[in-house]
Amino acid sequence: MMEQVNLGLVGGGTVGGGVWQALQRNGDLMAARLGVRLNVTRMAVRDPRRTRGFTVPASVLTGDWSEVVHDPNVQIVVELMGGTTTAREVVRAALKLGKPVVTANKALLSAHGPELFALAAKHQTNLYYEAAVAGGIPIIKAIRESFAGNRITRIAGIVNGTCNYILTRMKLEGAEFSEVLADAQRLGYAEAEPSLDVDGHDAAHKIGILASLAHGFWVKPGSIHTEGIRHISKLDIQFAGQLGYTIKLLGIIQPVAATAPTQGKKSKKTADDGHASAIQVSVYPALVPNTHVLASVNHAFNAVAVRGDTVGDTLFYGRGAGQDPTASSVLGDLADAAIDLRAGNHHRVPPFVSHNGQGTVASMDSISSRFYVRLDVSDRPGVFARIATVLARAKIGISSIIQPEGHTGETVPVILMLDAANNLSVRKALATIGKLPVVKSNPVVLRVENLD
């Protein structure tokens, strides 16, 4: 008889339901490929009596997660409930029992990753989390295993489908952010309370995990520079298009090639081998050249571009959220966990290896980039001169100025494309410009990422 591995699912919502249905649909296929049959013996849900869009035997359901974790027949625990409180209890309890855990919970890992990884190591088991980043895209396995022989010199990713959906529709329809957000909420692409997505926090959770894996030290959530997309208007989308760019919410991870102040630590110099000991870990909306492949990633799709010193440029593309894509990644982790169990090696590939004790996250103020700036200014002579004077004093060059025709009223938009400059210098200069009597609203500032 084929060997069987028993699973305990905690969470029967969108992802949990997707995993259950996928196992019913493709369980025989997985068994044929793996030589191991995956069998769900227990499933914890909030209300076992509630009607669902799929059928689970009553004997499998329970309202108590501890019954799943402590069931001696359950060999692998799958945490799909979300959140960082009860979910943490579930994962901790399972790891302490020496049971491998599969999770899709990026917020939990972002907040408590080091603690949970240490617990897995202590109890000689493993924690699998492919589904925590970019849905169905196998980016965790690629960075942790496939690119083990590479120094990762840059990761640039679109990792939040809600923001990408909103920005895509703003571009295609010429609509304002608030209009598209309301529609996205109605269609289920955005939550009723959308802050986690549109303010960049969800993307920051994912980018922090990728940065930690790529550079060998755990990146604390508070050290990640995070901006959202609320301040972007259809004017910005329009002007970016005229300049040959598309606006995307990007996660950027890359070494900082010069001495830079770092968050919480003293400055670190560039390493002797040419690789910086400090890295940039950031989430912000940026202008991406229309010629770059990330500019063409639309709607709810995700994409992560990874550059390694040996492999060169690679691209991972697919659906970054949703029931089936996330369930697909969970099933991949279950396959690894089942194979590891059968081989008697629960920690064949550790969930995270800290191999860079000197790594630090560079302060965003130390990072240089090009900038797009939109100003609403008084429509009268001498305005450009006053703005240019401030920038000149800050030693910031202007590569181009656009004042579109056809605008009526007392104010007009002015678009500045700035040469590469230090973020701190630009921030201070724009704070001064924003106080000029001729400037009638706060400057809108976006970085320009050429991704060369």
pLDDT in tens, 120-173: 999 999 999 999 999 999 999 999 999 999 999 999 999 999 999 999 999 999
pLDDT digits over 365-397, tens only?
Answer: 999 999 999 999 998 888 999 999 999 999 999
Taken in order 251, 254, 256, 260, the sign of the CA dihedral is: positive
Cα 187 from chain centre: 22
Confidence check: pLDDT of 93 > 80:
yes
- The mean pLDDT of the chain is 93
What residue segments make up the domains of the chain, in order of their start?
A: 3-128, 140-319, 367-448
CB within 8 A of 141, min separation 6: which ones? 130, 332
DSSP state of 132: G
What are the tens digits of pLDDT across the range 440-449? Answer: 999 999 999 9
pLDDT value at position 268? 43
Cα separation of 288 and 242, whole Å?
13
- The fold for domain 3-128 equals Rossmann fold (3.40.50)
Q: How far apart are CA 163 and CA 300, in angstroms?
A: 8
Sequence-distant (≥ 6) Cβ neighbours of residue 232 within 8 angstroms = 167, 170, 177, 247, 285, 444, 446
Active site residues: 206
Distance of CA 105 to the CA centre of its chain: 12
pLDDT tens, position by position, 344-369 = 877 778 899 998 888 999 999 999 99
Q: Which residues pair with 319 in a beta bridge?
A: 301
Highest mean pLDDT among 7-11, 254-258, 411-415: 7-11
CATH top class, domain 367-448: alpha beta
Range in 105-109, 268-272, 292-296, 405-409 the model is least confident about: 268-272
Domain topology for 140-319:
Dihydrodipicolinate Reductase; domain 2 (3.30.360)
> DSSP of 322-381, one letter per residue?
SHHHHHHHHHHHHHHHHHHHHHT-TTSS-S-----TT-EEBPGGG-EEEEEEEEEEESST
Angle at 103 between CA 97 and CA 108, to 5 degrees: 95
Q: Is the pLDDT of residue 319 over 60?
A: yes
